[in-house]
């Protein structure tokens, strides 16, 4: 397979409701932003595209993908829709990678969107819960916050994770977003603020949970030949990993940990895995991506991570799946400040989903855009001159490296992609 580069990206500012723009216009805005950032790329050089959106219910328009594609003027070139719940954007990014890596395309555009404001919040929660088993799970009280609450209650029971540690994730990510003009929410919070906000599903409060959003994002991926020609600072995609798990949480096995290279089986002698406290799909995605990118120990070999923090609890669970700490130590990992902007490995310097918003089909691509800007060193340029959240490379001995992580369902589809700064 050929090397693949990201050469540009664009996003719309995510908002609770954007009734002035249809999904097509939002996609167009993010696409035009990306095109402006790489002026040497001519539209006729684009070989095709992939499009992602999660829910036909929110859109109430089947085949909305082709409507975005014709709006961008990319017909009759190839296009297809990619969908996989919350990981829709991450899967779309990887589909564009596949198109270029396989040699089918030299330039492939990945764009995604969601328009979640078209129904009220509680109807929106219903639509999202339809992405759980509609025979066995949804009718019992289908509510994703409830599912995640059950997972973290077990995490707390197994490992002693505390509600204050969950709240620390919300505080950290919201603080980072104070310096991200693209973020939907700009909140300076304390642990008490998070704990005192209305309880949604014990122990998760409103400030432990991301909100719904309207928005779009776009990434342009290219072969080495094109990247060298049109982009002064392309970012290389060096690792692609994907994992899956059973739709129903109740079906998850209670077996042995899927180990990463740096892990020792003796760490987990008494742990039943993944149970409902861990995401085997996330672990498998990380394992494959690390193998692909040649990562031995992620805490040393990565400079930053943008991960799917739809819930504060899932950020803590994901630290463990990604091998940043041992299983069970995710709570301590946030507490020690390791994932803070100035920590050993900044996690969600953008503010994550909790602060930036989560227009599902756009989210995984938004993470790629933020990671792209981080690796280019161009955060300030795209952020009204504010470079506070720009992460500096940790080591000179290797290229600066970022990880993006996109996550669906109760951990059903998870993608991990590794991106690297090029030496030029």
167 near another protein, rule: CB under 8 A: no
Q: Cα dist. 54→81, 362, 378, 382 in Å?
A: 10, 9, 30, 27
> In the complex, what is the shortest distance from the CB of residue 119 to another protein, in angstroms, rounded to a whole number?
9
H helices within 102-162, ranges in order?
121-129, 138-141, 144-159
Residue from the set 141, 160, 337, 387 that interacts with another protein by CB under 8 A: 141
Q: Binding residue for another protein (CB under 8 A) from 137, 214, 303, 309?
A: 137
Residues 173-232 interacting with another protein (rule: CB under 8 A) = 198-202
For tokens 């996609």, name the residue: 27
Q: Is 120 in the site for another protein (CB under 8 A)?
A: yes
Pairwise CA distance, residues 233 & 410, whole Å: 37
- Work out whether 270 is an interface residue with another protein (CB under 8 A): no
- Tell me if residue 236 falls in helix, strand or coil: strand
Q: How far is the CB of 156 from another protein (least distance, A)?
A: 9
- DSSP tag of 265: G
Distance CA 223, CA 1 (A): 11
Closest CA relative to residue 210, chosen from 288, 126, 123, 311: 311
Instruction: Decide if residue 149 touches another protein (CB under 8 A).
Output: yes
**20 counts as binding another protein under rule CB under 8 A:** yes
Contact 386, 281 (CB under 8 A): no
Buried b (16+ CB within 10 A) or exposed e, 367-392: bbbbbbbbbbbebeebbeeeeebbbe
In the block, tokens 């990380």 appear at: 286
Q: Which is nearer to another protein, 254 or 392 (CB)?
A: 254
Residue that is written with structure tokens 């995640």 in the block: 148
Q: Which is nearer to another protein, 136 or 267 (CB)?
A: 136
Nearer to another protein by C-beta: 22 or 297? 22
Please say which residue, 207 or 365, places its beta carbon nearer to another protein: 207
**Contacts with another protein, 314-353, as mask; x by CB under 8 A:** ----------------------------------------
**Binding positions for another protein, rule: CB under 8 A:** 19-20, 60, 120, 122-123, 125-126, 128-129, 135-137, 139-143, 145-146, 149-151, 153-154, 157, 198-202, 246, 248-254, 276
């Amino acid at each position: 397979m050929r090397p693949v580069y990201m050469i540009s990206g664009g996003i719309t500012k995510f908002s609770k409701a954007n009734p002035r723009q249809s999904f097509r216009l939002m996609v167009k805005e993010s696409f035009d932003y990306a095109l402006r950032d790489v002026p040497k790329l001519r539209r006729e050089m684009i070989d095709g595209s992939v499009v992602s959106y999660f829910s036909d219910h929110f859109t109430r328009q089947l085949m909305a993908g082709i409507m975005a594609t014709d709006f961008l003027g990319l017909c009759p070139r190839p296009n297809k829709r990619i969908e996989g719940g919350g990981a829709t954007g991450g899967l779309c990014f990887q589909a564009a990678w596949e198109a270029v890596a396989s040699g089918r395309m030299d330039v492939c555009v990945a764009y995604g969107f969601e328009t979640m404001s078209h129904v009220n919040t509680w109807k929106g929660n219903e639509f999202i819960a339809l992405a759980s088993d509609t025979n066995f799970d949804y009718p019992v009280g289908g509510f994703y916050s409830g599912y995640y609450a059950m997972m973290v209650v077990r995490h707390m029971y197994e490992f002693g994770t505390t509600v204050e540690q969950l709240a620390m994730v919300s505080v950290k990510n919201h603080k980072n977003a104070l310096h991200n003009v693209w973020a939907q929410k700009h909140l300076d919070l304390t642990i008490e603020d998070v704990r005192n906000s209305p309880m949604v599903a014990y122990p998760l409060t409103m400030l432990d949970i991301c909100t719904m959003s309207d928005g779009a994002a776009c990434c342009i991926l290219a072969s080495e030949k094109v990247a060298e020609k049109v982009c002064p600072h392309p970012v290389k995609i060096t690792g692609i990993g994907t994992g899956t798990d059973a739709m129903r949480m109740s079906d998850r096995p209670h077996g042995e940990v899927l180990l990463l290279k740096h892990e020792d089986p003796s760490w987990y002698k008494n742990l039943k895995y993944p149970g409902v406290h861990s995401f085997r799909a996330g672990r498998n995605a990380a394992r494959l991506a690390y193998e692909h990118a040649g990562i031995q120990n992620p805490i040393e070999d990565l400079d930053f991570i943008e991960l799917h923090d739809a819930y504060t609890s899932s950020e803590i669970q994901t630290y463990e799946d990604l091998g940043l700490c041992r299983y069970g130590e995710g709570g301590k990992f946030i507490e020690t400040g390791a994932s803070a902007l100035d920590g050993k490995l900044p996690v969600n310097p953008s503010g994550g989903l909790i602060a930036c918003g989560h227009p599902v089909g756009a989210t995984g691509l938004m993470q790629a855009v933020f990671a792209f800007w981080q690796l280019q060193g161009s955060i300030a340029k795209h952020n009204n001159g504010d470079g506070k959240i720009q992460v500096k490379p940790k080591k000179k001995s290797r290229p600066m490296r970022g990880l993006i992580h996109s996550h669906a369902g109760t951990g059903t589809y998870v993608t991990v992609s590794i991106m690297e700064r090029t030496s030029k």
